[in-house]
Amino acid sequence: MKFLFFFMGLPIMIISFFNAADALPYAENIKLLSDGKEIVLTQEQQDDLKDGVLEMFENSRTLPAFAVVTDEMFQEDVQSGTFVSLKFNRVMEVEGLPFDEIVFKVVPEYTAINLLRGNQGVFQGRCIHVQLDKNMQKLDETIQQIQTKTEINEKI
């Protein structure tokens, strides 16, 4: 853990990790975004999604990333495809890169992802690259089940 002194010497704690997977249990909120819209999830669906994300990150490795995102690029990217957002109640840090939210795109065949880092709602800077031990197929299946249940709930 690191302590930084801001605002007249008051310490602010940043939890720092070497591996992105170690930060995930600290996520306070998880969201599912589809084509730029947030899908409203029940608590059970949030738990299923978080479990799927944690399982996907098992045995993953965090590697140096060269990808950089700007907030404009981020806002454009989330307009198409499926994304998962993890929001933290404090500033976290992986490989020296601080964030209070991370977002990643779900593509079933991908075995590596770039985590887009957000701070106070603005996404910019270097990404965090994660090499997964397996592809994202199982997480995608979980998301498809959640979306099917959500569509059924909307029709009722």
pLDDT tens string 91-132: 999 988 999 999 999 999 999 999 999 999 999 999 999 999
pLDDT at residue 10, as a whole number: 43
Q: pTM value?
A: 0.85
Q: What is the rounded end-to-end Cα distance, in angstroms, of the chain?
A: 48
Q: What is the pLDDT of residue 1?
A: 42
The domain of 42 spans: 2-155
**The total number of structural domains that make up the chain:** 1
- Dump strand ranges (E) for 2-149: 2-6, 10-17, 27-34, 37-39, 61-63, 68-69, 82-94, 97-105, 112-119, 122-123, 125-126, 128-131
